[in-house]
Amino acid sequence: MSPQTASSSLQLNIPQPPSKIITTSPSPSSDLNGHIHAHSDSKPNGNGDGRSLLFDNTPLPNNGNTQTLNSPTTSNSNNRKSLDIHKTPSELDPMDLSRTPPPRTFAPSPPPPISRSDSFTDITMHVNVAPQRPDGVNGVRISKKYRDESELSRLMRTVDFAARKHSCQRRKDVDQTPYINHPIAVANYLSSTGITDVKVLQAAVLHDTVEDTHTTIEEIAQLFGTDVARIVEECTDDTSLSGLERKTAQLRSAPYKSREAQQVKLADKIHNLESIRRCPPVGWGIKRIQAYFIWAKQVTDVCAPAHPPLAEKLQELYETAYTRVDGVYHPCHPGVCGPLTEPEKDLVDSRLRGLKKGDKVCPAPIFF
């Protein structure tokens, strides 16, 4: 949790259809009962040695019951990941996320399955979700005064809203970069790689507001519409879970998120990974960096078909990202990275030059 804000949480019931087939539409991202959790926390500026975040990257043998999720862009075909969708959660080793399946069938009387045809993940899933309530996000209408607004104006209002919400928060890097730089960068990754759907860009800008600030999904629905609110909800982790549980939950729910939420996820991860490569969070050792890369690749491999241009950039990052810790060069993703060349060593050095714990940080923000 952030040093700036106290932590509290409230639980909201977001109404959903009683039972539905997940194709590319809203997912059980927060939990599978249709609950989402709105939090008034800010990001932990936590440090750690990564001991609790070490994930096995060993590919599973395909036993015929396994759905293989392939990155479309990888030049490294032996890095494909398999998710066994037939084990129950209790059969899983929580430390072994490469073996973590997505949730199984939850609907008591499932309707006929419909295949996901817009991507080659081709997984069919029934999820039992909470019944619709009239007071949830489905019943929320965007405020009248915003209904005739231009898209550009709405996008700028979104950026302004997120900037206010994140104004007290800082990233975990040594410079304590203003937190808002992250959601803006996430939206920029999307718009610069061909995403023109303003709702996706708005959701990218807002994607951490519910998880990390005093913002509710209803507030977002009222100000920016239910489509944006749903994407944000899909990108919101349940912060009542432990860090490891959240990582597991992201892996499990990733295949069932809407295309739009998967696009935001890809951009979110690429910015976090680039940030780690350029300037790792203070206190992160190599084990924690590698654990984050290994886990992030598992998530982004699943989301890759939603936006191939970003998936390609991610693959390149996994194959080339090195970092240096205590004078030793390490691949950020040990399973995928190629050998480090001399020019790349210089690149790593120039990125990390002068970076050390306890360095003077940016001036403190001015509050009005």
Ligand X SMILES: Nc1nc2c(ncn2[C@@H]2O[C@H](COP(=O)(O)OP(=O)(O)O)[C@@H](OP(=O)(O)OP(=O)(O)O)[C@H]2O)c(=O)[nH]1
Q: Footprint of ligand X on this chain (CB under 6 A)?
A: 43-44, 46, 171-173, 182, 208, 237, 243, 268-269, 272, 275-276, 281, 292
Shortest spacing between CB 33 and ligand X, in angstroms = 21
**Of residues 79 and 275, the one with the C-beta less far from ligand X:** 275
Judge whether 342 counts as a catalytic residue: no
Neighbours of 340 (CB within 10 A): 16
**Of residues 44 and 110, the one with the C-beta less far from ligand X:** 44
Nearest in space to 39 (alpha carbons), one of 73, 69, 79, 11:
11
Catalytic residue from among 212, 218, 237, 260 = 212
**Of residues 52 and 341, the one with the C-beta less far from ligand X:** 52
Shortest spacing between CB 79 and ligand X, in angstroms = 20
Shortest spacing between CB 276 and ligand X, in angstroms = 4
Shortest spacing between CB 237 and ligand X, in angstroms = 6
How many angstroms separate the CA atoms of 141 and 145, rounded? 11
Nearest in space to 269 (alpha carbons), one of 239, 244, 304, 245:
304
**Of residues 127 and 273, the one with the C-beta less far from ligand X:** 273
Bridging pattern class, strands 81-84 and 19-22: unpaired
**DSSP per-residue letters across 244-306:** HHHHHHHHHHGGGS-HHHHHHHHHHHHHHHHHHHHSPPTT--HHHHHHHHHHHHHHHHHHGGG
**Of residues 136 and 281, the one with the C-beta less far from ligand X:** 281
Shortest spacing between CB 44 and ligand X, in angstroms = 5
Catalytic residue from among 173, 211, 233, 237 = 211
How many angstroms separate the CA atoms of 199 and 181, rounded? 19
∠ CA 181-216-164, rounded to 5°: 35
Residue 238: φ, ψ to 5°:
-85, 105
Judge whether 274 counts as a catalytic residue: no
Question: Catalytic amino acids?
Answer: 211-212
